[in-house]
Amino acid sequence: MPDPPAPPQLERKVHQQLNRALLAQHLWDFALGAMPWLFTQVVPAMLAVVSVTLFGRYPKRPGGNEP
């Protein structure tokens, strides 16, 4: 005997709870994964672009040789 279909309210409630859980997981992953990468990779590059634009030279690297 086949199972009776689930009521639409139950299905909607399950989808809403799942969507909230997935959104929370995505935001958590973004905050702990993408944002640290952004601050270590993209921000220094953008600061170098601003430095070249304003001062005409690249910023000095710590411990690096200056050309």
Query: Tens of pLDDT along 22-66?
Result: 999 999 999 998 899 888 988 888 988 999 999 988 777 766 655
Which two three-digit tokens encode residue 22?
């997935």
Q: pLDDT tens digits for 4-19?
A: 777 778 788 888 898 9
Q: How far apart are CA 15 and CA 22, in angstroms?
A: 10
Q: What is the CA radius of gyration of the chain?
A: 25
> Could you count the other beta carbons within 10 Å of the beta carbon of residue 51?
14
Q: State the pLDDT at residue 64.
A: 60
- From CA 8, how far away is CA 53, in angstroms rounded? 59
Distance CA 43, CA 6 (A): 50
pTM, 2 dp: 0.53
pLDDT grade, residue 2 (50/70/90)?
confident
